[in-house]
Chains A and B, each alone.
Chain A
Amino acid sequence: MMNDDIEMTGEQPKQPLLEARNISKRFPGVQALDDVSVKFYPGEIHAVVGENGAGKSTLMKIMAGAYYPDSGEMFLEGEELSFSHPDQALKKGISIIYQEFNLLPQRTVAQNIFLGREPSKFGLVDERQLNKMAREVLVEIDAEGLISPTTMVGSLSVAEQQMVEIAKAISLNAKILIMDEPTAALTITEVNLLSDLINRLKQRGIAIIFISHRLAEIFAIAEKITVLKDGQLIDTVMTDQVTTEDIVQMMVGRFLDHYFPPLGSEDDFGEVILSVKSASNHKLENINLDLRKGEILGVAGLQGSGRTELAQALFGVEPFKTGSYELNGTTRMIKSPSKAIKSSLGFVTEDRKAEGLCPQQPIRDNILLTVRSIQRLFTAISKDGIKRAPKLVPELGERVDIRTDSFDRDVDSLSGGNQQKVILSKWLASEADVFIFDEPTRGIDVQAKASIHDLIRDLTKQGKAVLMISSELPEVIGMSDRILVMHEGQIAGELPAQASEVEIMRLATGQNGRNGNQHSVVLGEE
C-alpha cells in the first residue's frame, strides 16, 4: 500500500501540501533518519508512529525548521523549502506543538498567542487590539467560552494550555499543524474535545500530523498512518485498511502476542505487607488499600484522579494527614521520602528527567543515591561506590541490562530507556520490599518496555510487592493481579485481574454499574 495507490483510489488527486523527499539525518552514533519520503495532504489527519528512536521527532523537527537535514529536500506546495530558523517555518505556515508546550506561564493568553507579533504603534503595544485579536482566534477554535485572553497561562489546565498553543498556530495561519503526543496528558473528555477540534481544523484544509504511542486513539482519529522504524520509512497506510496488530508488527518487525509476562496466581501471593486504612490528605479521601507480597496491584484512573498523589502520599512526599499506615509490620505514618526508603519502600517516579536522575552525575552515583542517603551521612565510600559492596553497580547494571561502556559516564548521555533502567537499579539497590511505579514505561520503546515489564514481574517472583500506576490500559490489564481504579481523589473500586477496559473506565469516570454512555474515543478498539 503505497502513496501512489492512495491517489488512485477515487480521491481527487491533490498536490501534497508538504512533502519530505529522501530526508536523512545523522546524529553522533546514530542514523536518525535514513532516506525517508512522506507526503502530507491538506485536510488530512495523519499519524506518525514508531518506537522511541525511530525518527519521528527528528522528522517533525526538520519539518518545523528546528533541525537541518543532512540530505534530501522538503517541498511546501511544490516549492522547495530551506529553513535556517524555526520561525521561518512558522511564517510559511508550519506550526509545531511540542509535548512540553512553548508557553510563558507568567504572561497572558493573548500575550502568548501573539508573542513577537504584538499589534503595535510606534513601538507601543496596543493592548486592546491584542486582546481583541486573541478573542477572535479563540472563537475560531470554539474556545472563547473556556479561555479568556487576559488570563495568565500558568493558571490554565494542560488541556487549556494546549488550546492556547493551537490558537497560536491558527493565528499564524498554519496550514500544517504538527503535534507531538497531544493526548499524553489529557483526560478522556479532553481527548474527545481535541478530536472534535482536530476534525474542525481538517475541514478548513489544515493538514494535521501527530505523533502518538496510543494506537487506539490513532485508529479513532487518524486517516493515515506512517510507520517509522530505525530511521526508515516502513509504510504509509490508510487507517481503515489495517489493524493495530499490523501496525505493531510494522513498528517492531515481529508479532508481539506475548506482550506481557504471565500474571501471578494465588499461590504466589503472600501476606499483606502494606496496609492503609481511611487515609486522607488535602488531595485524597478515605483511601483503603492492602498490598500483598508477590502481587502487582495496578492503579488506573483518568488524569487528575489522584494516582500520582496516592503514590506521593504513600512515599511521604505529600503524606497522609489522617488514617493508619502499616508497612512491614510497623504502624507508623510515613512522613518523608527518607523514612519511606528506610522502611523499604521504593518509588520510581513519573518524570524521569525532573524527578529521577541527577544528569551530571555518573551512572554509578545515580544508582547508589538511595543507598547512600539512608546510610549515615559521613560514611566513607570507595572508588567503586560502596565500601561493602564494590560489585553492586555492575551487578545491577547487568541485571537490568543497562547498555553503556562505563558506569562513570554522566547519566545524561544515555537514552530514555537506559535512563529508566538506571532509575530502576537505584531502587533495586535500596533493597526495597515494596515498589511503587508511576508510568514505568512512558515514552519508552517497545523492546525496552517488554524488558521492564519482565523485571517488574521478576520482582514479585522474589516476594516483593508492586504498586503500578499506569495510564495505558493495556499495560494495566496486562500486568496487574488486581486493579484499583481511582476517581477524584478516591478509590472508586477494585477489579480482579483481566478486567475489561469498559469496567475500568466505568469506575474511572465515576459511574458505578450504570451504562458507560460517553462516546469514548479511546474505547472501542480492543
Chain B
Amino acid sequence: MTTTSFSGTRVKNILKSIRIPPVYYFLMVIFLGGGILDLMYGGGQIFGNPKIMMNILVRSVALGIVAVGQTMVIIGASIDLSVAYVISLTAVTASYVMQGDPANVPRAIITVFAMGAVIGLVNGLIITKLRVNAFITTLGTSLIIKGIINSTFSNWAGSVPRSFEFFGYAFLGPIPVSVIVLLLVMIVGWFVLKKTKFGAHLYAVGGNKEVSRLSGLRTHRILILAHVICSMTAVLTGLFIVSRLRAGAPWVGPDGLYDLESIAATVVGGTLLAGGRGGVWGTLAGVLIFSVLDTTFNQLGMNPYLTIVFRGLIVVLAVASYTIRSKKEAA
C-alpha cells in the first residue's frame, strides 16, 4: 500500500463502502407515489409543505426508536413482542410518578429505565436459560405486564409537567428535539452494531449460535444484553409518547401496534427474521415508509382504515421482494 493516501481517495473509498440498503429505493418510490397523488388530489400542498414534511419525521420518532431495539434483537435471531406493553408501562408509570411536578422528573426517568432493564433481563433469561422460544417468552411477558398495568391503572394516570414536554414538542432551531433524539438513537444503534465487539458478536450469535458458542462467545450474555437494549428503547419511546400526550394511559402501547410494527419496519428494512444480518438504517427507511404513507393518506383525507390495509400490503410486498429470489421454501 502506498504510504500516503489523498484524502480524496479516502473519501471515495468510504463512499464506495457505504452500501445503500435496497429499501431506500422503496422509500423513494413511495415518496414519489405520494407526491404524484398529492399533485393529483391535493393540489401539491402536501409535499411542498415543510411543516408536513417535518411532521413525517416526528411521526417516525416513536416507532423509530423502538424499532432500533427490535432490529438488534432480530439480528440476534430473537424477537421481542413485549415492547408495546413496555411502552404502556413506561407511559403510565412515568406520568404517575411525575404527577405534574418537574421535581419528580429525574426520579420518574430512573424508575422507568430500571423497569425496562429488568423486563429485558427477564426476557433474556427466560429465552436463554429456560430455553423458551422468544416468540412465546415475549408474548408471555407482554401478557404479564398487560395484567399488571390493567389492574393498577384503568385510565389516564398522573400527568406530565410542562418542563418534560420539551421532549415531545420542543425545537432545537428548525429541528424538533425528538427527531434529534431519534437520529442519535439511530447513530448509537448503528455504531454499536457495526463498530463494537458486542455488535460483531450479536451478528455471529444470530447467524449461528452453535458456531459462536464453540468459538467461545458467551451467547447467553449477548442475547440478554440485546433484549435489555430493546426494552430500553421501548422505554425511551414510552417517554416520548407520554411527553406528547401529556399523560399516560394503559392502551398507548398496544394501540400503536408498536410490537408488530417495529417488527414490520425491521423486516421491510431488509433485516431477516432469521438473524445474522441487517441494520438500523434499513429499519429507519421502513419506519419512514410507514410515516409517509400515513401522512399522505391523512392529508389527502383518505379513509384511515385504508392506511392499515396499505401497511399490510407494503409489509408483504417489501419482504416478498427480498425473498422471491431465494430458492429455498419459506416456512
Contact = CB atoms under 8 A, between A and B. Distances in A.
Q: Determine if chain A interacts with chain B.
A: yes
Interface of A: 66, 85-87, 90, 102-107, 111, 115-116, 118, 120, 123-125
Contacts of A124: 195-197
B211 interface: yes
Instruction: Give 7 closest A-B pairs by Cβ, nearest first.
Output: A87-B216, A104-B207, A115-B215, A102-B211, A116-B216, A116-B215, A106-B276
A102 B215 CA distance: 9
A317 to B, nearest CB: 11
A523 to B, nearest CB: 36
Most buried by A among B197, B199, B207, B277: B197
Given A116-B215, A124-B195, A104 B200 contact: no
Choose among A90, A104, A111, A118 the residue with the greatest number of B CB atoms under 10 Å from its CB.
A104
A522 to B, nearest CB: 31
A104 B214 contact: no
Contacts of A104: 203-204, 207-208, 211-212, 276
B115 interface: no
Nearest to A168: B215
Interface residues of B, number: 20
B23 to A, nearest CB: 18
Contacts of A107: 200, 203-204, 207
B277 A115 contact: no
A102 B214 contact: yes
Nearest to A130: B200
A125 B204 contact: no
Given A102-B211, A104-B276, A105-B207, A120 B216 contact: no
A115 B197 contact: no
B198 interface: yes
A116 B208 CA distance: 13
9 contacts: A86-B216, A104-B203, A105-B207, A107-B204, A107-B207, A115-B211, A116-B201, A123-B198, A125-B196
Interface centre among B196, B198, B214, B277 (most CB of A within 10 A): B214
Nearest to B276: A106
B43 to A, nearest CB: 47
B197 A125 contact: yes
Given A90-B215, A104-B211, 20 more contacts: A87-B214, A87-B215, A87-B216, A102-B208, A102-B214, A104-B203, A104-B207, A104-B212, A104-B276, A107-B203, A115-B212, A116-B215, A116-B217, A118-B200, A120-B196, A120-B197, A123-B196, A125-B197, A125-B199, A125-B200
A115 B219 CA distance: 12
A63 to B, nearest CB: 14
Interface in B194-232: 195-201, 203-204, 207-208, 210-212, 214-217
B250 to A, nearest CB: 38
A168 B99 CA distance: 58
A87 B211 CA distance: 11
B200 A103 contact: no
Contacts of A118: 197, 200
A106 B196 contact: no
B328 to A, nearest CB: 11
Contacts of B276: 104, 106
Contacts of B211: 102-104, 115
Contacts of A115: 204, 211-212, 215, 217
A104 B208 CA distance: 7
Contacts of A87: 214-216
A51 to B, nearest CB: 27
Contacts of A85: 216
B93 to A, nearest CB: 31
A13 to B, nearest CB: 35
A330 to B, nearest CB: 28
A219 to B, nearest CB: 32
B215 A106 contact: no
A106 B217 contact: no
B28 to A, nearest CB: 26
Interface in B179-205: 195-201, 203-204
Which of B204, B211, B277 has most chain A Cβ within 10 Å? B211
A105 B276 CA distance: 9
B208 A111 contact: no
A125 B204 CA distance: 14
Contacts of B210: 102
